Structure 1
Amino acid sequence: MEFDKVPEWAAWLAQDADGTWWAYEAEPNKQDRGWYENEVGRIQRLGQTAPPPDWEATLRRWPPRC
């Protein structure tokens, strides 16, 4: 997935088990098959790609740090 449309406020990205990518303003919480907002901050759907083999490993800070 190319992240050219990530909102400026995004601090976290994550992909659910179904392949949907999300941007989060605050670190999201994990649920059965994906991530959800923790009742603070904004959330935005970024798109969908193939489901990942390990969706739990997709949570990452944004922008990437070197």
Structure 2
Amino acid sequence: MWGRYTRPNGVLNEHTKTVHKHELGSTDLHTVCGVTHHLASDHLRRITVERAVSDHGATKCGRCFEGGGGY
């Protein structure tokens, strides 16, 4: 069971190193901005936003996060 602050609330695109907000209620790798709807899941994974940024050097999606970078 995930703790309140450890639930994977992001989706990391490992190819572009961009992290997106996971769409609430979606069991798939769908994101708030919709960018991942057409992507193959082999480059995507659920992860906490904090870990994607700190461990993988990812940038936050500008559509999903205020003050984000990519897209």
TM-score, normalized by the shorter chain, greater than 0.5? no
TM-score, L = length of structure 2: 0.29
Greater relative contact order structure (CA < 8 Å, 6+ sep): 1
Between Structure 1 and Structure 2, the one with more helix by share is: 2
Between Structure 1 and Structure 2, the one with more strand by share is: 1
TM-score, L = length of structure 1: 0.30
